[in-house]
Structure 1
Amino acid sequence: MGFLNRAAGRTAAVALAVALAACASNEEKEDVDPVELVDINSTVSLQEVWSADVGGIDEKRYAMLQPSLAGGRIVAASSDGDVTAFDRNTGQALWETDLDVDLSGGVGVGDGIAVVSDYRGLVIAVDLDSGSQLWKYQVSGEVVSAPAVGSGVVVLQTVDGKLVGLDAASGEQLWSHNTNLPVLTLRGTAAPVISGGMVIAGLDNGKLLALDARDGVQRWEQRVAIPQGTAELERVVDIDGSPVVRGDLVFAASYQGRVVALSKDNGRGLWARDASTHHEVAVGGGHVYLSDASGGVYAYNVGSGQIVWNNNELLRRELSGPAFFQDVVVVGDLEGYLHVLDPNTGQFIGREQVDGDAIRIPMLVDDDLMFVLSDDGKLSALRLAGY
C-alpha cells in the first residue's frame, strides 16, 4: 500500500479512518453523514469587510495555499499559479503575478519576499512590493504546505521527509535535514515556523523537531504521538498542523496521538492529552483549542492541559482548524459555514456562511480582521460584531 498515497489526498485518509472506526463494532452501523445544523441564538456576527476571487484551490490534491500577511498587505495564491497581493484593509489588488505552474504550497512571506511552491518541488520567490519573480530553486520532493520565511532563511518541508533551508536573498540552499518517514502517512505536511532564530517543524512520524535556522543543526526533538496498534493505518500519527509558538511554549497536536505543550528552548513537555486532528491548534484566552478528526471541538487549559469544554454538535462536518479571533473561537466546515463559539463554554454564539465550498485552509487572524479562503478561491476579510 505504501504511504497513504500522497496523490490520494486527505479524503482517502479520512475515509479509511472512518472505515476503521466502523469496523470496531459489528453490531452498530457507523453514521458517516455530516450532522445537520440546527438553529442557534446568534449574539454575534461575522461581517464581511471585503472579498476577492483569487482562483480555485485544488482540494483533491490537498493544496494548502494559506494566505500570509506582511506590510499591510495579504498575499494569496491559487492552484493555477496566480499570486496576488491585496491591501489588507480595502481588498484592493496591489499586484498580480501568473507563475504558470500548478501551485501546491504557500504562501510564506517575510524578508521582503513571498514564496510558493509546486507539485514538482519547484520553489519560487517573488518581490513582496511588486510581484516580480526573484529566484527559483528545485527541492527533492513535492511541497504541500507553506514555507517559513525569516532570519534570512526560507524553510520548506517536503513530502519525502526533508526540511530544507534556502537563502532568502538568493534562493541558494544553506542546509538540509532528513527525517524518517513511516510506512503510511496522511496526505499533507505541517508548515514549519521560525521563532527566535529556531525552526520548529511537525513531522509525519509524530515528532516535533527544532533546528537552528542558520545552519540546520538540531536543537531538540520530542515525540508528540506514539504509534499504537498492529495495522499500519492504526499507527498513523502525522503532525499535519503547524506548531503554534506562544512566548516560551510550543503547542502542537497529531493524528491519532496527543495535543501537547512543550518548552520552546529544550522541547521538554509541560503537558500532553490524547487527541486526534489534521490541523493546528489555536491559543488564546487561557485555553488551547482543537478541532478533532471526528468534528468535535475542544478547549484545554493552557497551563495544565485539563479539558475545559468540548462541543460535539458538528460531527463529521470536516472542520477546519480553529481560530481565536477577538475573544471568540471560530471553525469552518465543508459547506462554507463559520461557527462562532464562546471560548469559556463552547456554546454556539454565531454562524455565517461565507461560501458554498469548504473552509479547509487555516484561517488568518490579524488584529480586528480575520481572513478566510474557501476551496473555490473566495478570500474574505471579516470583522466581528456584537461581542
Structure 2
Amino acid sequence: MRKIMGLLSVTLLLGCSWFNNEEDIVTMSPLPKVNNRFQPTTVWSCAVGIGAGEFYSNLHPAWQDGRVFAADRHGVVKVLDADSGKEIWSNNLSIHTGFFSCNRPAQLSGGVSVADSRIYLGSELAKVYALNAQNGSVVWQTTVAGEALSTPVISDGMVLIHTSNGMLQALNKADGVIKWTVNLDMPLLTLRGESSPTTAFGTAIVGGDNGRVSAVMINHGQLIWQQRISQSSGATEITRINDVQTTPVVVNDAVYALAYNGNLAALDLHSGRVIWSLGIGSATNLIVNDGRIYLVDQNDRVIAVDAQDGVTLWCQSGLLHRNLTSPVLYNGYIVTGDSEGYLHWINIDDGHFIVQQKVDSAGLLAAPIIGGDKLIVQAKNGKVYAITR
C-alpha cells in the first residue's frame, strides 16, 4: 500500500497500530532510466512565499488571461505575468496577532480558483476568501463549517466548498453569504483532503469520504442522487478507507469517479446508475480525453482505460510509490510530478516514458496546471515554474 501517513485525517484516536509488520512498509522505486526525446525549457521561475513546508497541502496555482495566480500556506498570494514571471501584485492574508508583532499563518489550502475578476481561496482555519484579481484586496471572507480543503468551484452564482467534516456548502458569489449546506457524511478515518465538485447542467457532482458520489442541485442544495462506488473492506483501518477524494469528471451524460481502495466507475449523469466499474483505487484526479481515461492509482501506476467499457489499455509501473501528483495532459503527453521533484512525460498511446525532467529538489505535491502554451508547476517550497515543450 502506498505510504499515506501524511494524508490521514483522524476524528477518533485509535488504540492499535496502523502498521504492524514489515509487509506494510513500502519502498520508493528507483528513478527509471529515460532517454529524453526532447528537452523541455524552463521559461521562468518565481518564489511565492515559503510553500507548504512539511505540511500536506494541495495548494496549486491557477491561470487566466495571461496571468498565473499562486499562493503559499502562510498566506502569501501573488499574481505573475505568464510570459515573463514578473510579479504584478502580492498580498499577504496572514493574520496579525499584535503579540510581538507576529503574523499567524492563514493556512491556505486546497487550491486557487479564478473566475471573472475574483480569486477564491480556502483555508484550514475554515475561512474562504474572495480577492479582487486586479489588486489583491479582500472583497469578502466567510467562515465555513470546517477546514476548506477542496479547491473552490464557482458556478451558477455560487462558490462551492467541500469542508473537512463532510459538508458541501454554497456561498453567494457576490458577498460570501452561505446559501445552503449538505451533509455528505464521513467515517472516523479518512484521507486528508476533500473532493472538489464538478458542475454540469446546474448540478454539483462531488465525492464523499463514505465511498459515495452525490449529485446536488446548485440553486437549492437539494440532493438528487447518491451512488456508492466503494465499500469498506480489509483487515486494517487503512485498507478500509474508501474516500472518493478525486474530482469527478463529466463527459456527455457520463460521470467518471474514482475511490481510494475502491473502484473507477462510470455513472449515468441523470440517475447515478453504475454503467461499469473497474477495481482501481486512487486519491489523485483523473483525465478523460478522446474516449480514454488516464489516472495514477494508489500505488503510483499510471494507467489508461477505455472510457466506453472500462477495459485497461496500458499500465506504466515504473514509478511505484514515488508519490505522484495528479496527471495533466500537455502537448499530447501525460505529465505527472513526484516527491523528489521530477516531472515524468509519458506517451498517451502506449505508456512509455518520453522525458524525465528534474524541476525542484524540494519535491512536487500539487498537480501541474496548463497556462496557455505553458506547463505551470509549483514545488513544495512555493517556487513556481513555467515550462514549455
TM-score above 0.5, yes or no: yes
| 1:31 Cα deviation after fit | 6.2
CA distance in 2, matches of 1:294, 1:358: 18
Q: Deviations over 1:343-383 (max 9, x none)?
A: 11111111101111221112212452221111111211222
Q: Taking every aligned residue pair, what percent have the same amino acid on both sides?
A: 32
Matched residue SS, 1:61: coil
Query: Gapped runs of 5+ residues in structure 2?
Result: 95-105
CA distance in 2, matches of 1:199, 1:105: 18
Residues 9 and 189, structure 2, Cα contact 8 Å, conserved in 1? no
Equivalence for 2:110: 105
Is residue 207 of structure 1 aligned with residue 207 of structure 2?
Answer: no
Residues 301 and 307, structure 1, Cα contact 8 Å, conserved in 2? yes
Matched residue SS, 2:109: strand
Equivalence for 1:88: 82
CA distance in 2, matches of 1:250, 1:50: 37
Q: Deviations over 1:139-164 (max 9, x none)?
A: 12111221111221101011111011
Is residue 10 of structure 1 aligned with residue 4 of structure 2?
Answer: no
310-319 or 94-103, larger mean C-alpha shift: 94-103
Code of the aligned partner of 1:88: A
| 1:283 Cα deviation after fit | 2.1
Equivalence for 1:35: 29
Alignment: residue pair count: 370
Equivalence for 2:52: 58
What does residue range 298-337 of structure 1 map to in structure 2 within 5 Å? 298-337=303-342
| 1:261 Cα deviation after fit | 2.1
CA distance in 2, matches of 1:51, 1:339: 19
Mark the CA change 1:214 to 1:379 in structure 2 (over 3 Å): closer, same or farther.
Answer: same
Equivalence for 2:103: none
Matched residue SS, 1:76: strand
Matched residue SS, 2:191: coil
Query: Gapped runs of 5+ residues in structure 1?
Result: 1-5
213-222 or 130-139, larger mean C-alpha shift: 213-222
Is residue 343 of structure 1 aligned with residue 337 of structure 2?
Answer: no
Is residue 164 of structure 1 aligned with residue 164 of structure 2?
Answer: no
Q: Deviations over 1:163-194 (max 9, x none)?
A: 11000111111111112111211111112223
Residues 65 and 145, structure 1, Cα contact 8 Å, conserved in 2? no
65-74 or 183-192, larger mean C-alpha shift: 65-74
Question: Could you state the TM-score of these two structures normalised by the residue count of structure 1?
Answer: 0.89
Mark the CA change 1:302 to 1:68 in structure 2 (over 3 Å): closer, same or farther.
Answer: same
Mark the CA change 1:197 to 1:90 in structure 2 (over 3 Å): closer, same or farther.
Answer: farther
Code of the aligned partner of 2:326: G
Residues 183 and 232, structure 1, Cα contact 8 Å, conserved in 2? no
Matched residue SS, 2:181: strand
Find the partner of 2:288 among 283, 289, 310. Answer: 283
Residues 283 and 324, structure 1, Cα contact 8 Å, conserved in 2? no
Equivalence for 1:3: none
Matched residue SS, 1:90: coil
Mark the CA change 1:34 to 1:234 in structure 2 (over 3 Å): closer, same or farther.
Answer: closer
What does residue range 192-231 of structure 1 map to in structure 2 within 5 Å? 192-229=197-234, 231=236
Find the partner of 1:124 among 113, 126, 129. Answer: 129
Find the partner of 2:63 among 69, 77, 97. Answer: 69
Question: Could you state the TM-score of these two structures normalised by the residue count of structure 2?
Answer: 0.88
CA distance in 1, matches of 2:267, 2:40: 33
Find the partner of 2:41 among 47, 71, 75. Answer: 47
